Amino acid sequence: MGLYFGIHALLITTVTLSPATATAQSEEDATGEAVYPPLWDLAPEKLMDFPVKNNKIIINAWNYQERLGVYKNLLNSSAKYFTAFGSQNSGNILWGLPLQHGWQFRTGRLADPSHVTSCGYGGEDLLCISVRSWWSCMNYYLAVIPFLGAVEAGLFGQLQYEIEILPPEERRADFCYSVANCRSRIPKLMDDWKTYFEYLISTEYKAMSPATSSFKLDHALHLMWKAHVASIAYALPKFQDSLKYLSDPEANFGEAWADAVDFIAATHFTTDLPTTNNFQAFLPQRMLVEGDVLPSISDFSPQQNRVLLSMSTLHKANQLTGGLLLKLWQKVMSTEAGRKMGRKLIECLASSKKFDPVEIYNDLKGVDLTVPRFLRKSSSNID
Chain mean position to CA 1: 31
The better pLDDT of the pair 314, 199 is held by 199
Residue pair 122/111 in contact by the 8 Å Cβ criterion: no
- Answer yes or no: is pLDDT of 24 > 50: no
In whole angstroms, give the CA distance from residue 58 to residue 74: 16
Q: How far is CA 5 from the centre of its chain?
A: 25
Beta strands in 1-55 (DSSP E): 52-53
Inter-residue contact 192 to 227 (CB < 8 Å): yes
Weakest-pLDDT range from 5-14, 100-109, 121-130, 328-337:
5-14
Phi-psi region of 122 (alpha: psi -120 to 50; beta: other; left: phi over 0): left
Phi, psi of 254 (to 5 degrees): -60, -45
What per-residue confidence (pLDDT) applies to 383? 40
The model's confidence at residue 192, banded by pLDDT at 50, 70 and 90, is very high
Burial class of 144 by CB neighbour count within 10 A (0 to 12, 13 to 18, 19+)? buried
CA atoms within 13 A on the CB side of 323: 4
For 299-352, the DSSP string reads TS-HHHHHHHHHHHHHHHHHHHTTTHHHHHHHHHTTSHHHHHHHHHHHHHHHTT
Phi, psi of 293 (to 5 degrees): -120, 125
Tens-digit pLDDT profile for residues 54-96: 999 999 999 999 999 999 999 999 999 999 999 999 999 999 9
Q: How far apart are CA 110 and CA 204, in angstroms?
A: 37
Domain spans, the chain: 33-246
pLDDT recorded at residue 128: 98
Whether residue 295 is preceded by a cis peptide bond, meaning omega within 30 degrees of 0, is yes
pLDDT at 369 over 90: no
